[in-house]
Amino acid sequence: MAAERSRRANAGAKMTKLLVDEQEDEFYQTTYGGFNEESGDEEFESDAESSDDEVDSDFSASEDDEPVSDQEDDEPKRKRRVVTKAYREPKKVAKPSEGKEAENGQQTQKVEKPKQPQQQRVIPPSARIQTRKSTAERTLQCNIRYKERERLRAIQPKKQPVEFRRLTQEELLEEAKVTEQINLASLETYRQLEDERRKARNQKRVRYQGPTIRYHSLSMPLIEELPKDTEEINVVGDSSPPVQPSQKSQVTRCSRNFITFPDDATFRKHFPAKKPKPPAKSYCAVTRLPAKYFDPITQTPYATIQAFKCLRDTYLQEQELKCDKRLNELNGYLEQKRKQKLLQK
């Protein structure tokens, strides 16, 4: 029904008055110095705007407005229009004087709270000087590094651009001939490789038909060894506590290695059945007892210490005889040389 009825003539007439008479909140006037902003929308205002605001809804209608009669409903419905206007700040209401406040008694006196003085942070002069010194030092170091980079950049030799000479037509033809020879050689090598692959593909593999020895490594189930059946023997006296059997291993499989031969002849060839002859027992040359030791100098086995001393004494006597014989030969040679020198004189 609200959409079908016609708009009242006095709709929105009291909206401006309500906005003007609206009391400003104390919070927005005191906190942070107030939020009052000067209006800057004068340039958007136009003379064509009317003083009375027109709204489409009837939420601001006064309760004193009387309902429209049936005759007004019979009048032709007016076309609704949408009025868009620039936003305007509400007019500032002048604060009433003290006399008026006392007379009306509508507004209460505001209790002003004493403002606490803000503690200003005092920076000691020594800290300021220290900060300035550090800043100056960093600036100086930055300038020194910049000058050093510039000096190194100026010292470095400038790279001259490489000039490429454009080849002539004759040089290009000569280079093409060389490239042709290289490509032909590469093509010939590729053809040879293809021929070898083709021959290897067509060649039949010859399997070896002779005896072969194979090595096998595989896993098999673990063989469980059963305990031997033994009769229980009752012995009178203290008996040791029964020994509990060891827990069975959780391993169920193990590794097995085998070497297989094609026939028995190959096996006997590599593992002959004839047993090697046991080494002959050695006896002492002096006491004729089984020898326990072996003399590395005389290469003779011996059994006791006395036999060892006898062997060494005999060895020394033989060496003395050999030395005497050599000395006699040497003396004869020297005597012969002396006689030859006398004859030559």
- Most confident range, picked from 114-118, 149-153, 162-166, 198-202: 149-153
Task: Tokens for 247, please give them.
Answer: 């827990």
Cα-to-chain-centroid distance, residue 302: 73
Q: Which of 12, 106, 113, 110 is nearest to 61 (CA)?
A: 12
H helices present in the chain, as ranges: 15-21, 27-30, 70-74, 98-104, 125-155, 169-202, 264-270, 305-344
Task: Report which listed range, 10-24, 52-66, 80-94, 228-242, is most confident.
Answer: 10-24
Look up the domain containing 299 and give its range.
293-337
| Token representation of residue 250 | 């959780």
Ramachandran assignment for 33, one of left (phi > 0), alpha (psi -120 to 50 degrees), beta (any other): left
Average pLDDT over residues 67-90: 54
Torsion over CA: 338, 339, 344, 345 (sign): positive
Among residues 104, 127, 152, the one where a domain terminates is 104
How much is the pLDDT for 159? 79
* Residue 321 domain-assigned (yes or no): yes
Better-scored residue on pLDDT, 19 or 148 = 148
Question: pLDDT value at position 280?
Answer: 84
| Residue 259 falls inside a structural domain | no
Range with the poorest average pLDDT among 173-182, 200-209, 256-265: 200-209
Which range in 10-19, 43-52, 310-319 is most confidently predicted, on average pLDDT?
Answer: 310-319
CA dihedral 47, 50, 54, 60 (to 10 degrees): 120
Is 66 within the bounds of a domain? yes
For residues 6 and 68, give the distance between their C-alpha atoms in angstroms, rounded to a whole number: 10
The two tokens of residue 160 are 């001259």
Chain centroid, CA 13 distance in Å = 76
- pLDDT tier at 61, thresholds 50, 70, 90: very low
Q: What is the DSSP letter of 79?
A: P
pLDDT at 172: 94
Q: Does a structural domain hold residue 323?
A: yes
CB of 30 closer than 8 Å to CB of 103? no
Nearest-CA neighbor of 245 among 269, 225, 222, 262? 225
Q: Could you tell me the two tokens for 331? A: 């003396």
The residue behind tokens 């003085």 is: 117
Work out the percent of the chain whose per-residue pLDDT is above 90. 17
Per-residue b/e over 87-100, b at no fewer than 16 CB within 10 Å? eeeeeeeeeeeeee
H or E segment and range at residue 215? strand 214-221
Per-residue pLDDT reduced to its tens digit, 34-51: 655 555 555 555 554 444
Binned at pLDDT 50, 70 and 90, residue 241 comes out as: low
In a domain, 46, yes or no: yes
Rounded to 5°, angle at Cα 294 from 289 and 297 = 130
Count each helix (H run) and each strand (E run) in the chain, helices first: 8, 4
Question: With bands split at pLDDT 50, 70 and 90, how would you rate the model's confidence at 134?
Answer: confident
- Per the structure, the count of domains in the chain is 2
| Cα–Cα nearest to 3, from 57, 39, 81 | 57
Handedness of CA 124, 126, 128, 134 (dihedral sign): negative
Last residue of a domain, one of 36, 69, 104: 104
Return the SS3 of 290: strand
The closest alpha carbon to 260, from 212, 219, 210, belongs to: 212
User: Residue 64 carries which side chain, given as an amino acid letter?
Assistant: D
Q: Is the model's pLDDT at 217 over the cut of 90?
A: yes
Establish if 8 belongs to a structural domain.
yes
Q: Which residues pair with 221 in a beta bridge?
A: 253
Residue 254 falls inside a structural domain: no
Closest Cα partner for 106 from 21, 222, 34, 189?
A: 21
Q: Which of 276, 301, 277 has the alpha carbon at shortest distance from 289?
A: 301
Last residue of a domain, one of 46, 78, 104: 104
One-letter amino acid identity for 34?
G
Which of 202, 178, 182 lies closest to 190, judged by CA? 182
State the DSSP code for 63: T
Q: Write down the pLDDT at residue 174.
A: 94
